Amino acid sequence: MKALKQLQIVAVVAVLMWMLATSTFLPSRNPKKLDCDSRCFCYKTWIKFRHSYEHIVEMRCTHLNLTEDHLPLPPKLSSNMSTSLYLENGTIPYLSNTSLSVYSPYKVVILSLKNNTIEYVAKDTFGNLMHLKTLDLSENIIHEGTLKEAFYGIALTPLKKLNISSMNLQNVSDDFFKNLKRIANFNLIFRDNTHMFPMTALMRLNHMISLDFGRNNLTLIHLYNASFTSLRYLNLDNNHFYDFPDFCFKESNSSRFPNLEILKIQWNEMRYIHRFHYNCLTSLTHFYLNGNLFQELRSNQFSMLPNIFKITLSYVGCAMRIIERAVFNNSALKQIYFRNNHIWFRNAGINLRVFEGCSSLELLNLDYNIVQITREDGFNTLLGHLTQLRTLIMGGNSLPFIPRVITERLTNIESLALYSNDIKDLTPLKNMTNLKKLFMGSNQITTLDESSFQHFRRNLTKINLSNNPFSCTCNILWFIEWMREESNIFSFKTNPNFTSLYMCLRPGDPIRHRLLDLEMSDITCLLGMDVKVTTLTLSILLIVFLVTGAVMYRYRWHIRYFIYMVRYSQRQEVDTREYEYDAFLAYSAPDRHWVIKTLLPVLEGQEDLKLCVHDRDFEVGKLIVDNIVDAIEGSRKIVIVLSNEFAQSEWCQFELNLIQRHVLENGQRLLVVVMLEEIDTRHVTKAMRAMLQTTTYLMWGEEEYARKAFFNRMRMLLRKATEHGGERRLSV
């Protein structure tokens, strides 16, 4: 339900912003020219109005002089069609009650009388235009009292939009708009008029839904008990506000603008932005704050706006000293524009967690800030939690490389713009499978690896890699062919001059060459004889290497046994002592089955060796520690059977410590290590690591040849002394 509500809000905002364009209608791209008055240009066109299309006749006339001429008439066919009249930039000093009566037979929906030096307008001038929806009187010099009376006739029309900008309206009275108070869904444009304005005058417009009050040199605005329950769009751009206006009733924490959806308060002189001045705007979806002089942004600056969709905070960085953690913390927020602030993200007062809490963010624009972070963990802190991003723009950020967090965690990105940085390598992009638009122009890219694009190349609808210092080598031949085959995604069809932005340099040649002008013979990518010989030689060496590797792997146990026999014959010593046992076996309880069923039948049955096995040979009633020590002392050799169970057994680790101590004190004794399986590194203790680093071990394998090699080595190590004395080897 919340997602549906947000979609509905976005749709309403889109329609509203469309209505606030220079015309209520959107002109067609293919108008049909019509014959009309020689002083004008007339067209018939399809126009989209609200949710449907209709024909409309548009007549544009400039530099009319009504002191000498009459008003021009639209084409005849316009009597049954909606008509828009633009009578601008002329001389029409006087409009009587009958001046516009020539247009009463027509369905005039738009009338612009902009900049005609109009000084007087009669009370009923516009009363006969029964279809009028948009009226533009801007840039004329009509007196406030005269204009107030003219509103009487305007109120008789179905007017929806009135532009009275740039008219030097300095002395507006409280009842200035009294004749317009009954107009529903009213849009007022009141720009560039005054530095003082009584809000009581606006309060008469109870049904106003849009107010453009920009460029009026206001230093403050007194709202007092003002309440505009219908207002959905408010523009206060380009004034001189030093303090942020208070849109809330402090006593009740309610809003003066309960249904306001779009608030523009850009290019003022505000130093501080206090959230309790606007956190009551619970319907706000678009918040434009560009071009102010904010010195600090505090935590949870926008967290109290439940329906916020877009925030723009660009061109505000010159005086910025403090940016706290989670400034934009709001799960409803979809778009953030934080561009051209030139903020150095390494400064002490700038917290890298500024976007924390934006769990639904889909667009982030960080153009032309200084994100010269050299460590990946810094980028991870800044961006790592924005996993829902679809569009990321970080142009002009002094990036030396593509941060790994973008390619590994922000995998939903469809549009990536990293232009005007110092990036040289595009290889990390190969994981961006959802990428559709890529803008990497003006970096330091000299060559391109085709594999970097293989996972998203088919999805791309737009790509820009212009103004990079490419090298004219065979490595970019594939890229040149791609540009020729799919010129549309490089924008070459719409802008052919764009091809001149893709240039390259040959080694030792100062002249730049256009990539698309290079031919195969120019790039010299055909293989010569030397290259063929080199390729053949390398191929043969590779085949020999692979065959040798396969043979060595197949006979790896035999090779190990041969190497061991050579080393063993070179490292013998004589031990003439008499021992009770040929070897003491140290193993864990879970490995008892392997010892009894596999090891003992061969060593005791076939080799006639006497082994000390604690389950069988330890003296009953004697301390186990004493049994272990006596067994070690009474055995010619010690065999340790290593496994993960042995590594995890505290008792086996104690037994290992006793063995290692004895071996260190009696260097002539032999230690034999059997590795039943690969030991998990989590279980390897310091004692085991030291033993494995200094002792060659026997590896048990289930293959027949591996088992045979294992017992051959075990026989060698444990065989009994000859008549010349017991054979002795240091350690394996």
Determine the residue type at 633.
E
User: Distance between CA atoms of 400 and 404, rounded to whole angstroms?
Assistant: 12
CATH code of residue 655: 3.40.50.10140
Residue 668 domain flag: yes
User: Distance between CA atoms of 676 and 590, rounded to whole angstroms?
Assistant: 12
Residue 545 domain flag: no
**Distances 392 to 355, 363, 431 between C-alpha atoms, Å:** 13, 6, 16
Q: For tokens 């980028």, what's the residue? A: 379
pLDDT at 580: 87
Please name the residue ranges forming H helices in 555-685.
556-570, 592-594, 600, 614-617, 624-633, 644-648, 650-665
Nearest residue to 47 (alpha-carbon basis) of 74, 82, 11: 82
User: Distance between CA atoms of 276 and 273, rounded to whole angstroms?
Assistant: 9
pLDDT tens-place string over residues 539-591: 888 888 888 888 777 666 556 545 544 554 444 445 567 888 888 899 988 98
DSSP tag of 13: H
Residue 175 domain flag: yes
pLDDT at 197: 82
Residue 410 domain flag: no
DSSP per residue, 41-65: EEEEEEEEETTEEEEEEEEEEES-B
User: Distance between CA atoms of 303 and 309, rounded to whole angstroms?
Assistant: 12
What is the CA 597 to chain-centroid distance, rounded?
Answer: 61
For 122, phi then psi, to 5°, come to -70, 160
DSSP tag of 182: T
Tally of structural domains, the chain = 2
CATH code of residue 184: 3.80.10.10
Out of 187, 217, 247, pick the residue that ends a domain: 217
| Tokens found for residue 718 | 């444990």
Please name the residue ranges forming H helices in 357-476.
376-383, 404-408
Task: Give the sheet arrangement for strand 470-471, strand by strand.
Answer: 470-471, 503-505, 512-514
pLDDT at 576: 61
pTM: 0.68
pLDDT at 106: 92
Domain around 169: 25-217
Q: What is the 3-state secondary structure (H, E, C) of 282-311?
A: CCCCEEECCCCCCCEECCCCCCCCCCCCEE
pLDDT at 425: 94
pLDDT at 148: 95
Residue 628 domain flag: yes
**Element spanning 8, H or E:** helix 2-19
266 SS3 class: coil
Instruction: State the 10-residue block means of pLDDT for the chain, 732 residues long.
Output: 48 45 46 90 80 84 83 82 94 92 92 96 94 96 95 94 95 92 94 86 89 93 83 96 90 89 96 92 97 94 97 87 94 96 82 95 94 83 95 94 94 96 93 94 94 92 96 90 93 89 88 85 51 75 86 64 50 63 89 88 86 86 84 87 88 83 70 87 81 79 82 80 40 35
Residue 504 domain flag: no
Residue 717 domain flag: yes
Out of 217, 250, 279, pick the residue that ends a domain: 217
Residue 251 domain flag: no
Contact status, residue 342 vs residue 367, Cβ threshold 8 Å: no
